[in-house]
Amino acid sequence: MIKLENIHKTFGKYPAIKDVSLNIEDSQVFGLVGTNGAGKSTLLRMISGVLRQDSGEITLDGRPVYNRPDVKQQIFFIPDDPYFFPNGNAADMCSYYRTAYLYFNPVLFEKMLGDFSLDPKRPVRNYSRGMKKQLAILCGICSGARYLLCDETFDGLDPVMRQAVKSIFADHMSRRGLTPVIASHNLRELEDICDHVGLLHKGGLILSRDLEDMRLGLQRIQCVFAKDDGEALALAGLEVLNSNTRGRLHMLTVRASREEVLSCFEKIDTVFFEILPLTLEEIFISETEVAGYDIKNIILG
């Protein structure tokens, strides 16, 4: 597990990270969401040991990360703009990473280059942006590191390649306990892959929650009541986070389990009633509005 405790980082007089504490559990996909400038890249660089925090502590299984090569063996960082040798090719990067990561797998690397149709002898400077992202991901997967820190990794990848990368992540999670940490400004990008999501805003952590727990604890209801007093009776035992009405159609977001909602509505006459799944975007809107933030401006605007 990677643990961050009360992390602060400033650049000159500008605070980049402010009192961030969170845990990144093993063998799950951790999504780090925030707008450009929220502090995602700075936080990933501190977790990987590229930058040193001004205060607080970052540990991997209880061991400090910064200035510890043995601990850094377990972490591979893929920045938004990956670095490659100016005149190097994929084979050169393989040779380099074999010296940096003791468990780098050159056989797997060669196979995956073929699977992705990447020429190991072609200069990387002649790769497209998407091909460079693919090569960086393959280097990270083959490094043998337990934690793969990805900064806007899916930018520049086409939809087919995005699904391929997600499948590779899932395979290595099940086979060797890989833990991807994916930073993105796009909630929709993380919708179908993340187990846990943290939301950064202006260097601070607004929330860090298990996605399934959030989904189970929030329900979206659409219904038409048969009688005028139906809404008051049905919602008497529920915490309503959001309510909208279009004609007779009521659209509600409540904090409750599915069973609690069904129990409250089972004795109420309705013309129409259904419980719908919430998107990650809708979950975050509900959770952050309760905390006093408007995520539509933070993430979507």
For CA atoms 76, 116, 122, 152, the dihedral sign is negative
Whether 301 has a pLDDT exceeding 60, the answer reads: no
212-244 pLDDT per residue, tens: 887 888 899 999 999 988 888 888 888 888 888
**245, 225 Cβ separation under 8 angstroms:** no
What are the distances in angstroms from CA 291 to CA 161, 194, 206, 224, 274?
Answer: 36, 22, 8, 30, 27
Which is it for strands 75-78 and 63-64: parallel, antiparallel or unpaired?
Answer: unpaired
Domain 2-202 has what CATH class?
alpha beta
pLDDT digits (tens, 9 = 90+) for 164-192: 999 999 999 999 999 999 998 877 778 78
pLDDT digits (tens, 9 = 90+) for 37-95: 889 999 999 999 999 999 999 999 999 999 999 999 999 999 998 999 989 999 999 99
Which pLDDT does position 289 carry in this prediction? Answer: 65
- Identical topology for domains 2-202 and 213-300: no
Res 292 pLDDT > 60: no
State the residue for tokens 């979206």.
Answer: 220
Ranges of each domain in the chain: 2-202, 213-300
Instruction: Give yes or no for residue 204 having a pLDDT over 70.
Output: yes
- Kindly tell me if the per-residue pLDDT of 30 is higher than 80: yes
At 280 the pLDDT is 78
CATH code for the domain defined by 213-300 = 3.30.70
Given CA atoms 56, 58, 64, 70 in this order, what sign does their dihedral have?
Answer: negative
